[in-house]
Structure 1
Amino acid sequence: MIQEFRLPDLGEGLTDAELVQWLVAEGDAVELNQTLAEVETAKAVVELPSPFAGAVQRLHAAAGETVEVGAPLVTFALAGGEAAAPPQDDSGSIADAAAESAPAAPSAAVDAIVSASEPEPEPAAARQATLVGYGAAGRSGARARRRPRRPGTMLPVPTSAPISTSGERPRSTPPVRHLARTLGVDLAQLAVDGRPVTRAEVESAAAAAAPGAALGADPRMRRHPIRGVRKHTAAAMVRSAFTAPHASTFVTIDVTESLHLLDALSRDRALDGHRIGVLSLTAKAVCLALGRTPLLGARWDEEAGEILEPTYVHLGIAVATDRGLVVPNVRDAHAMPLVDLADAIADIVSAARAGTVTPAQLTGGTFTITNVGVFGVDGGTPILNPGESGILALGAIRRQPWEHEGEIALRDVATLSLSFDHRVVDGAEAARFLTDVAGVLREPGRALLLR
């Protein structure tokens, strides 16, 4: 019996995922719930368990491809199975192979080839749910998208260019065809008397139609596909920047006393194994300040016409990873003592860099901290994590001359930068919040007064 496993709905409204790596190969025997592959969504790297026990007959996607929810991933041959569909070559689907090797055909013929190569939709009762769900019904025709993606439209070729009227498929080498697809150039408009189209002609046509497009043809240009975490983070930041009216405020403070406290804690044998740093102390100060100005942790609900004010703090920590920026959050950070909060932050930062944070840890945050000081940056205007009303940037700590007790002395100084949603928070509230955070970092003993 032949069974097909399709990419399930991984939750959070995600419509696709990037295949990171296969953990099985064609011909392997797998057991029920054995991990088949790792896929990366906008949220995290997720392991896909097998919904069947049997033999892997075919893998439908390659590492690095983006696969839509509901698209085929693996074909299994179960015990007592039937003959499998003919294998496809490495170039993609049967339809892709046919289209690449045959003359140009009418779109109806191509549609017939695609229909013949794809399985009929399964009845709803036959679907087997895995992970969060199985994906949208009626998507059985979806196939893995191969990168680089073909542009949706072709660039117009200057009217002075000779055009073939023979109706035959234009001749060119595979690299030239690939370049033409990348630059959006229609080879049929460049073919003359059956002669192969050259790379120079494609580059010239692209430059004439859209001068900026020719940059991609320069062999010195490095290409970085926009996908995975970076793709979705970029989309989220654009939504945030053009939805919430951002405002920012700053304060520069003397944090020498905080560093003295942290130094004393690091030498306390009772705290061996715990790493309490400036980020942890700042996180504690933020939790205390949010208790006094809770609107910095609120959300603007446009549809309901309400401001949602939480009575808790799910504290987001922005983490730079090889895959892009992620913001896991510490649940109920407001209820944690400093040592527990430091441990929780260390754990989620490690998980984020390893790609093992769960979707639950990446959603539901109420306020975010980003530590730009680790990069030697003094401050900035951070963009709000979508849905949140406040984000604090912790700048680099620098030893510099500073007024202290009526004299000039070398002190440890840092800048705090706060961005906030001006629909939810007005300037006075933002200033009170930032003053409270600064007060704790300037004089850690003030934390006793904020309860």
Structure 2
Amino acid sequence: MPVVREFTLPDLGEGLTGAEVVRWMVEVGEVIVVDQPVVEVETAKAVVEVPCPYGGVVTARYGEVGEEVPVGAPLVTVAVSPGEGPRVSGGGADERPLVGYGVADGPKGARRGRVRAGATAVAGPVAAPVPVAVAAVVEPAVVEPAVAGPSVVAVISPLVRRMAREHGIDLAALAGSGPDGLIMRADVARALESGAPAAPTAAPTVAPVAAPAGEDQLVPLRGLRRTVAEKLGRSHREIPAATCWVDADATELMDLRAQLNRASGPKISVLALLARICTVALARFPELNSSVEPDGSAIRRHAAVHLGFAAQGERGLVVPVVRDAQALGTEQLGAELARLTEGARAASLTPAELTGGTFTLNNYGVFGVDGSTPILNHPEAAMLGVGRITPKPWVHQGALAVRQVTQLSFTFDHRVCDGGTAGGFLRFVADCVEQPGMLLRQL
């Protein structure tokens, strides 16, 4: 007799206590194999697929799309053959970390099947593995291949679906450029440019209900947005932050970038040059690459610079982290910044790539603004902000000229240093922006 086994949401690491259901990847009655992803969830750090360690027939699902499931709560129950346990590795434990876990066997498309109508499946909640009257439910004779109807679209990413929905793009009318015709974000973007057919007006599976005009809307704080709110609130409550700022003539920095990019090799971004300046400045002012211990008893000065930088992604503002940035040259910094920026836009960064920073570079100038007094990224002690680089009248060599000017702001934890240290750091950064040749002294 088959038995029903319960698979609960595993610990996804980084101290996360739950995850929001983004998309179910299986249906009740569907045949799955060991390690097949069954649900896509959004944590405070990333969107991940969760594979199930059991193979058999899905008898129940727990949690609707948009609902948060705590770690340890049931996700699915699966009717498995007698004696078949979860797939384990090495030591034989039933649990294993799932962050970054890959699919083990075969393509996803070849894994699914439907239980024949005559077979019996359990659809109610199951508190513990119990025998069920589905003697033939996992036998090949009663399993038929799933039939893909006309409404099935080759889209994996919920972000692509949301982008298409918000712009009225009919995904069924698009040809995907990804593997096996998978529709990618770039395909939807091209469709927007070319005026692709609008999505059918028939009621979607899950349709947002518009609030009546003039009625307030209550927007739940969930996932990333809630984590950001909690972290910024804690930072504002716990850290006595102060901000200083200075205008800097970035003309020579921009000229240097143009000169570097005329040579062969990877293009150098302004962000990469600013990141290099930060690592040099932190070597001179190590007090600012630090954090205060949770109990307030000591200041921890970090040996390595794990440089965070603000990036706008599909899920909102995130802070990817360049590990050991002090050991990277300008080209290497540029390559890593570009990789992490693309990952932020695609919401594909792992929790490890979004945590552990010791200092943050915030280039809010990309939004067309000059200045800001940002809240520190707790528990870090400092953040450099860079405004837009724009032509402004400037006194240069005793004469009024039009120069490329930016405003630099520096927010710091007043517990780790006094204003003299913070001012010295910011002045050094500004000098490097104005005279980038100064960096040669540090190499």
Q: What is the TM-score when the length of structure 1 is the normalising length?
A: 0.69
- For the residues of structure 1 that align with 2:37 and 2:410, how far apart are their CA atoms? 43
Asked if the contact 2:231–2:378 (Cα under 8 Å) also holds between the matched residues in 1, the reply is yes
Q: Give the equivalent residue in structure 1 for 2:260.
A: 265
Q: Does the alignment pair 1:9 with 2:11?
A: yes
Quick check: 1:41 aligned with 2:43? Answer: yes
CA distance in 2: counterparts of 1:16 and 1:337, whole angstroms: 38
The correspondence of residues 232-247 of structure 1 with structure 2, limited to 5 A, is: 232-247=227-242
Q: Deviations over 1:1-50 (max 9, x none)?
A: 10011111112222111111122222222221222222111111122111
| Whole-angstrom CA distance in 2 between matches of 1:298 and 1:80 | 55
Q: Deviations over 1:165-195 (max 9, x none)?
A: xxxxxxxxxxxxxxxxxxxxxxxxxxxxxxx
2:389 equivalent in structure 1: 397
SS at match of 2:426: helix
Max Rg structure? 1
CA distance in 2, matches of 1:364, 1:415: 27
Q: Percent identity?
A: 44
Matched, 1:417 2:409: yes
Shift of 1:337: 0.6
Alpha-carbon offset, residue 132 of structure 1: 5.7
Residue of structure 1 aligned with 2:95, choices 129, 139, 152: 129
Match of 1:279 in 2: 271
8 Å contact 2:5–2:77 — kept in the other structure? yes
Task: Tell me whether 64-73 or 281-290 shows the greater mean CA deviation.
Answer: 64-73
Name the CA distance, whole Å, in 2 between partners of 1:426 and 1:322. Answer: 38
SS at match of 1:414: strand
Asked if 1:448 corresponds to 2:414, the answer is no
Count residues with an aligned counterpart.
326
Match of 1:166 in 2: none
User: Which residue identity is paired with 1:47?
Assistant: E
CA shift at 1:354, angstroms? 1.3
Q: Which runs of 5+ in 1 are unaligned?
A: 83-125, 134-139, 142-215
Q: Is the 8 A contact 2:314 2:346 kept in 1?
A: no
Deviation at residue 392 of structure 1 after TM alignment = 1.0
Q: Structure 2 CA distance, aligned partners of 1:242 and 1:67?
A: 29
Deviations 1:349-372, CA, capped at 9 Å, x for gaps: 111221111111122111001111
Aligned mate of 1:386, from 378, 388, 408: 378
1:349-360 → structure 2 map (5 Å cutoff):
349-360=341-352
Query: Is the 1:313–1:333 Cα contact (8 Å) retained in structure 2?
Result: yes
The 3-state SS of whatever aligns with 1:431 is helix
RMSD value over aligned CA atoms? 2.3
Report SS of the residue matched to 1:378.
coil
Whole-Å Cα distance in 2 between the matches of residues 266 and 224 of structure 1?
45
Q: What are the within-5 Å matches in structure 2 for residues 234-383 of structure 1?
A: 234-268=229-263, 270-271=264-265, 274-303=266-295, 305-383=297-375
Kindly state the Cα deviation for residue 322 of structure 1 after the two structures are TM-superposed. Answer: 2.9
Q: CA shift at 1:263, angstroms? A: 1.3
Give the unaligned 5+ runs of structure 2: 85-91, 100-125, 128-210
Distance 1:226 1:333 in 2: 33
Contact 2:314 2:344 in 1 (8 A): no
Amino acid of the residue matched to residue 306 of structure 1?
Answer: A
Between Structure 1 and Structure 2, the one with more helix by share is: 1
Tell me the distance in 2 between the aligned counterparts of 1:12 and 1:81.
Answer: 34
After TM superposition, the structure 1 = structure 2 runs for residues 20-31 of structure 1, keeping only pairs within 5 Å, are 20-31=22-33
